[in-house]
Structure 1
Amino acid sequence: MNHKDFVSPSQMALLLLAFTLGSSIVFIPNPVIHAASNSAWISVVISGTAGIPGLLSVLYLYRIYPDKSSIQYLGDIFGKWIGTVFAVLMLLAIVRMTANIVIGVGAFFTTTMMLGTPLYEFHVLILLVAALTALAGIEVTARLFNLFLLVMLATIILILLFGMGNYHPANLLPQFTGGISPILHGAIINFGFPYSEIFTFSILLYFVRPARNEPLGRLLFSVYALNMLIFIMVVLCATMTFGSGAGHRNFTLYVMARVTHISGFVERSDAIAGITLIAGSYIKATIALISLSSGIAHLLKLKDSRSVILPLVLLLLFMSLTTYSTQMESSITWYLIVPAINMCATIPIILAAVTTMIKRGFRKEGKLNTAEE
């Protein structure tokens, strides 16, 4: 598949930051705190560290195959049939991921600001806007999301700053009250969403046009570290604000905005904060849709990836409306099954990187032996 869209390394790094923050900054602090209590920040450190091998693998394979997506080079590394199986596994994981993002948007609005509104209205709207953005191409998307990302980061910072009057540092103590098991449980949840989802970018990095003054690896690791820092700050601030009750409050940042009041200056800002934060779900859904359409186009050898976007939207709409019948079912899936699915989708990338390193090592050794002879 030929493509005309290119993005710079810095634009791709900002897309990664937008993707990893996206909807996760709204939905994830609550279950992580619920699992690990006031030690949730340690869970974030563990999960973020566990995601580094996936990011290293994606970058290594991009350096070896700069003009190919993972859907293409998996076949080169493992052979046609095994490569196809791995590619299909990754694409199915992205399908499930995108549907869950849309479901999360509907759950947010119907349980916070617009209680009587049917779910399908939000699902149709978010998918339609994401599809129109994806149809414009990744270059236009990257430029647009730079502004969205700045607004989202500013909103997070303002919520944390204006909420300082509600912080009680004593809520952070004691640590390790339940041992290591709750911390690991929180780490598994946070690793599954968003750190294990880095494999999505193995399909997108071939869009990058290298630049000497913008080292891609350094930029991606910088925004990855920034994401971890933001998550740690949000978890710590939520714990200081609500104590052990933070784990029982859905949409943590939105709730923090609701309890923030500065007389004559900040009043009833929660609606604006909620809409701004949930826009991250639109950003993440768009990036996932671009990755998914590009991967399918490579797998089926289509000339234009945009031709599959609208059919995908119909599939995702159907999935988002029929996948879960109860809130309890969706919670169990998000916190247990989704991390397992994303881990399984990350394994082919790590295996591909290790296999490539071994093959290249043998080739170099063979060349050295030939030269010595």
Structure 2
Amino acid sequence: MKQNEMISPSQMAMLLLAFTLGSSIVFIPTPVISAAGNGAWMSIILAAAAGVPGLLSVLYLHRIFPDKSSIQYLGDVFGRWIGSVFTIIILFVMVLMIANITVGAGVFFTTTMMLDTPLYIFHSLILFVSALTALAGIEVAARMFSLSLLIMLATIMIILVFDLGKYHPTHLLPLFTGGALPVLHGAILIHGFPYSEIFVFSLLLFYVRPARNEPLGRMLISAYAVNMIIFLAVVLCASMIFGQAAGQRNFALYEMARVLEIPGFAVRIEAISGITLIAGSYIKSTIALIALSSGIARILKLKDSRSVILPLTLLLLFMSLTMFSTQMESRISWSVIVPAVNVLATTPIVLGAVITLIKRSFGKNGKSKA
């Protein structure tokens, strides 16, 4: 494992923002609006608040074990056997995550812009480019994704600003027509994807080079808050444009780009924006692939995590092409199974932080009494 690869806290914050936006900004607004209706914005606030303990747990355990990833310190906290079980769960969930990201990107292209293109074309392309980027290392990925993130954010801003004339604030009313349960349902969906996926960064924070003028905790919390604000803006704007029909649009942000009108432009803006936004899936899969290969390399005690990237990519390609037989099956999995397994993978991190905090508190009390 090459330990000379280091990135700054600000770069890690950019990776966190890119990861949490990633494919979720394209896929999540629609199911959340469908589930929660006009209360979707409240679902986002609840989900983001529920994800804060996971982020704080990752940061706390990194402060206690700065040179270790969760693959290593879970064994220190829970013991060898229980830690090994939690490690297997985390790595397995990450394999499912990357495969699902790849499937989602393929579904997006084959249902919007390239209807007759075989899925394996998109799956192979996304995973192959992700593997090449992961092989280049996290330093290269951080520099490249910083620019990609700015382009993605600019695309979102252009869509939201130029659709301004189509907003109808009255579409946001009434609230709580079905009670609080729809809002909770929407919160569960978006908490599972992306806010509970923060556990991925428990395998990456040891790459951070400490800097006095860039506190890691403050940088990551700021990136997390920016993600919530962007989701709120997209959900509110989609609801104001499409009203009750917003929950029936497959990809709300892409549909907003389709109705976009920029004076002087005759090209299909939605195609450009769609490609830009779905590039977030490539960013997210690359970050997850770097984390997954790093975790596996630490288990196998390999000198360089890059040696497992290509075999992992072939496995992920096979999984992405065979794990779902229909698009409906994949959508059901994304709304039920994916949120559940992401929460399952986050739980050991939160429990580990609580146990570590209790142990250290009792240790300090014992010393002070002595």
Which category of TM-score, normalised to the shorter sequence, fits these structures? over 0.9
Percent sequence identity over matched residues? 69
C-alpha distance after superposition, 1:251-290 (max 9, x if no partner): 1111100111234246521110000000000000000000
* Separation (CA, whole Å) in 2 of partners of 1:353 and 1:263: 53
Match in the other structure for 1:47? 47
Query: Given that residues 12 and 208 in structure 1 are in contact (C-alpha distance below 8 angstroms), is that contact kept between their aligned partners in structure 2?
Result: yes
* Separation (CA, whole Å) in 2 of partners of 1:142 and 1:239: 34
Amino acid at match of 1:358: I
Q: Which residues in structure 2 correspond to 1:128-207 (within 5 Å)?
A: 128-207=128-207
Match in the other structure for 2:122? 122
Query: Given that residues 16 and 223 in structure 2 are in contact (C-alpha distance below 8 angstroms), is that contact kept between their aligned partners in structure 1?
Result: yes
Match in the other structure for 2:219? 219
**SS of 1:211 mapped into structure 2:** coil
Paired positions, count: 370
Q: Which residues in structure 2 correspond to 1:78-97 (within 5 Å)?
A: 78-97=78-97
Query: Given that residues 254 and 273 in structure 2 are in contact (C-alpha distance below 8 angstroms), is that contact kept between their aligned partners in structure 1?
Result: yes
C-alpha distance after superposition, 1:96-124 (max 9, x if no partner): 01000000110011011100000000000
* Separation (CA, whole Å) in 2 of partners of 1:299 and 1:265: 53
Match in the other structure for 1:99? 99
Match in the other structure for 1:305? 305
Q: Which residues in structure 2 correspond to 1:294-333 (within 5 Å)?
A: 294-333=294-333
TM-score (norm 2): 0.99
**SS of 1:213 mapped into structure 2:** coil
Query: Shift in Å at residue 361 of structure 1?
Result: 1.1
Match in the other structure for 1:233? 233
Amino acid at match of 2:201: F
C-alpha distance after superposition, 1:56-94 (max 9, x if no partner): 000000000000000000011111111111011001111
Amino acid at match of 1:199: F
Query: Given that residues 2 and 305 in structure 2 are in contact (C-alpha distance below 8 angstroms), is that contact kept between their aligned partners in structure 1?
Result: no
TM-score (norm 1): 0.98
* Separation (CA, whole Å) in 2 of partners of 1:261 and 1:46: 33
Query: Given that residues 36 and 183 in structure 2 are in contact (C-alpha distance below 8 angstroms), is that contact kept between their aligned partners in structure 1?
Result: yes
Query: Shift in Å at residue 303 of structure 1?
Result: 1.3
C-alpha distance after superposition, 1:198-222 (max 9, x if no partner): 0000000000010000000001000
* Separation (CA, whole Å) in 1 of partners of 2:329 and 2:78: 36
Amino acid at match of 1:360: R
Q: Which residues in structure 2 correspond to 1:16-31 (within 5 Å)?
A: 16-31=16-31
Match in the other structure for 1:274? 274
**SS of 2:367 mapped into structure 1:** helix
C-alpha distance after superposition, 1:22-81 (max 9, x if no partner): 000000000000000111000000000000000000000000000000000001111111
RMSD between aligned alpha carbons?
A: 0.8
* Separation (CA, whole Å) in 1 of partners of 2:131 and 2:115: 26
Question: Is 1:362 aligned to residue 362 of structure 2?
Answer: yes
Match in the other structure for 1:345? 345
Amino acid at match of 1:99: A
**SS of 2:56 mapped into structure 1:** helix
* Separation (CA, whole Å) in 2 of partners of 1:328 and 1:85: 32
Query: Shift in Å at residue 232 of structure 1?
Result: 0.2
* Separation (CA, whole Å) in 1 of partners of 2:88 and 2:207: 21
C-alpha distance after superposition, 1:349-371 (max 9, x if no partner): 0010011011111111111111x
Query: Given that residues 36 and 186 in structure 1 are in contact (C-alpha distance below 8 angstroms), is that contact kept between their aligned partners in structure 2?
Result: yes
Query: Given that residues 196 and 346 in structure 1 are in contact (C-alpha distance below 8 angstroms), is that contact kept between their aligned partners in structure 2?
Result: yes
Query: Shift in Å at residue 327 of structure 1?
Result: 1.6
Q: Which runs of 5+ in 2 are unaligned?
A: none
* Separation (CA, whole Å) in 1 of partners of 2:327 and 2:144: 33
* Separation (CA, whole Å) in 2 of partners of 1:285 and 1:358: 35
Question: Is 1:12 aligned to residue 16 of structure 2?
Answer: no
* Separation (CA, whole Å) in 1 of partners of 2:119 and 2:267: 29
**SS of 1:176 mapped into structure 2:** coil
**SS of 1:178 mapped into structure 2:** coil
Match in the other structure for 1:245? 245
Query: Shift in Å at residue 328 of structure 1?
Result: 1.6
Match in the other structure for 1:109? 109
Query: Shift in Å at residue 302 of structure 1?
Result: 1.4
Q: Which runs of 5+ in 1 are unaligned?
A: none
Query: Shift in Å at residue 165 of structure 1?
Result: 1.3
Amino acid at match of 2:149: L
Amino acid at match of 2:369: N
Q: Which residues in structure 2 correspond to 1:279-298 (within 5 Å)?
A: 279-298=279-298
Amino acid at match of 2:318: F
Amino acid at match of 1:5: E
**SS of 2:107 mapped into structure 1:** helix
Query: Given that residues 261 and 268 in structure 1 are in contact (C-alpha distance below 8 angstroms), is that contact kept between their aligned partners in structure 2?
Result: no
Query: Shift in Å at residue 2 of structure 1?
Result: 4.2
